[in-house]
Amino acid sequence: GLIDNVNGPYSDDEDGLDEAEVNGNWTPQEKALHEARLKAKAKRRLRRSSSRNSASESSESKDLAGADPHSPKGKVVTNDRKSRMGKGRGLPKKGGAGGKGVWGAAGMVYEDEEPDVKDPNYDESGDTVYETVMPEVEEREMEKMVNPIVQEYFEHGDTKEVQMLLKELNLGPHKYEVSSLAVSLSLEGKASHRELTSLLLSDLSGKMLSQGDMSRAFDKMLKDLPDLILDTPEAPQMLGQFIARAIADHVLPMDFLDYHKGKVDCEHARVALDRAAVLLSMKREMVRLDNVWGVGGGLRPVKHLVKEMNLLLKEYLISGDVAEAEHCLRDLEVPHFHHELVYEAVVMVLESNGDTAGHMMMKLLQSLWKTGLITVDQMNRGFERVYNELPEICLDVPHAHSIMENFVDLCYQESVITKQLRDTCPSRGRKRFVSEGDGGMIKN
């Protein structure tokens, strides 16, 4: 009985003991701490038992084949995303990467993926580049498209620009009409436009247009001559010049004229072909057909003109034919540039040996002066340019000053130059001697 009594207060398990202790003389803080501990212990106990239950339930449900699938115990939840480890807060599993709008775990490197054949976007040819396709230009619109390009070309004269613009258009089988449109436009324009058109045909030939295309274009123009004459009465002669120049430039085949012989009924076309035949038969013209439009001038580079004038003067010094030299100078068609001829002529005199060159050049300048091919201004400008360059010329020709003075006097006596121009001739000393070896006689 005593033992029972002793066990009595403690027989109620821990709780009894707790209660007894609680009922003892505890401070309020100790009491609060104790209660918190109890709550935590209860929570742990509950969690442990629930995880054990779920594990045993799942094993039971596998064992119990006859269990009711509808009962919550017998049902196996396959798509439950909660952790079954008994750890964690019961949220879905997560590897710490991914999520909404995120590229993946930090430091992850993606390899280049091989395209998958089963992918609906799979492309056999690999990387396809799509080109912008220009629809083919119709014959009706041809004129509308090409004319502005040609008109602009007459302003800037750059054949490469024209080629670039034409390449952007899909001209298709009508491309040969480019040349016929250009020629038709130039017939209504100026001589310089016709020269530019001949240059354009020569540059397009072989790159964009074949000789066959060019032949077709000129055939078309020969047929259209009756209409062209309405706007340009001298169209047949001009077209003949175009044909001759095109054959000389190898734009048209050499047998173009033979092909048309005796097959042409239209009188205008006959005039054109005859004109071309005449131009081509004159051997001298074949060389100078690039001057068929008479506009060497403003379109040719200065270097080319200087070279031509040099040749002209050298030929003259050999042949002595003033009329031929005049003809060649007129052919160059650069009236504004004749001062260059004067300059080149005087420099040639300075660089020559003996007096013959001086007398010949004086004769040529005199003739050109009388026919009006060289004006006062050009004569003055030519001589003045030599005056300015005398110091440099003296380095190559030590006696340049004295030769110059003799030549200037000769020209003045033959009234080729003005007194004022003679007086501005630079002299080495203050006194101007008549010549080097006449004992120092001073000029009046």
Give me 312's structure tokens. Answer: 């002209």
Q: Map residue 170 onto helix, strand or coil.
A: strand
The DSSP output letter for 438 is S
Render the burial of 181-213: b for 16+ CB within 10 Å, e for the rest.
Answer: bbbbbbbeeeebbbbbbbbbbbbbbeebbebeb
Angle value at C-alpha 137, between 132 and 138, nearest 5 degrees: 145
CA distances from 177 to 200, 213, 227, 410, 420 (A): 14, 8, 16, 60, 59
Average pLDDT along the chain: 79
Amino acid code (one letter) for 108: M
331 — pLDDT class (breaks 50, 70, 90): confident
184 — pLDDT class (breaks 50, 70, 90): very high
226 — pLDDT class (breaks 50, 70, 90): very high
Please answer whether residues 419 and 376 qualify as being in contact, where contact means their C-beta atoms are separated by less than 8 angstroms. Answer: no
The Cα 187–Cα 194 span in angstroms is: 7
Is residue 279 pLDDT above 90, yes or no? no
How many other CB atoms are found less than 10 A from the CB of residue 75?
13
The pLDDT tens digits of the residues spanning 71-129 come to 555 555 666 666 566 666 666 555 556 566 666 666 667 777 777 778 887 777 666 66
The Cα 56–Cα 72 span in angstroms is: 14
Q: Model pTM?
A: 0.43
Is residue 271 pLDDT above 70, yes or no? yes
